[in-house]
Structure 1
């Protein structure tokens, strides 16, 4: 057991998060997403799992240890609802709350059309599938950096 780590973060997920570098992308997706086939195309090449939890809970766990990139305009992306790009489902609103809480600031989710999302996901570092059964619980996060207090000098 480790102190101050979310218990959802198993060894495989912690290893992947630690191995990612600045600018690498992580996908957190719902149970309907073609996660296994997409994960095979990623840098890691195998699927990571957080079964039994919804998207918001998975995002809370991951963002408790992974900073979002502050050097890009859109470090957090969501899959658009097909035919309704401006619709924000409840699952995405819940995740937005977790993102803002983890970052301590507003980090609006940008949107990606469904097939553009699939392509972006194939180029990610890794994919984590959740037990989320609501549609559109699919997100991409770009890893940021943690600088030592005097590193900016």
Structure 2
């Protein structure tokens, strides 16, 4: 155990966050997200919600100040599902990093393609639908 590091962040995830460089992307996937088929670097945080994982990561992870830095998987055309978790994410990001520029929404298959190129994926136990997010890493100043 270490002081000031959120205990939800596993040693494997901390290593990945440290390895990542400016412009690398991290996916936080909900419980339905096909993490294992998208990327070879997957950290499992089953039993944890994506919102609490996002909040913990943003305590250590700087968002990119030079580019769009946060992306959501958009709802499918015609899907009427409610997405209240997006408001929760926005609040967490605004409080967690002044570099947060708002969310860009990516169509589902575009989100999957971007996830395949991401540095890593964090698989959570989040039950909310469309609760997938991508963060672009910035620099520590």
Q: TM-score, normalised by structure 1?
A: 0.86
Q: How many residues matched?
A: 140
Deviations 1:60-117 (A, max 9, x none): 0111100000011x200000010169x8711111111111110146531111000000
Runs ≥4 residues deviating over 2 A: 104-107
Larger Cα-atom Rg: 1
Residue 119 of structure 1 and its aligned partner are, at CA, apart by 0.1
Quick one: distance in 2 between partners of 1:19 and 1:108? Answer: 25
- Counterparts of residues 89-100 of structure 1 (less than 5 Å): 89-100=83-94
Partner of 1:67: 62
Partner of 1:26: 26
Q: TM-score, normalised by structure 2?
A: 0.93
Q: Secondary structure at the match of 2:13?
A: helix
Of 27, 45, 48, 1:50 maps to 45
Partner of 1:146: 140
Q: Secondary structure at the match of 1:111?
A: strand
CA RMSD between the two structures: 1.6
Structure 2 residue ranges without an equivalent (≥5): none
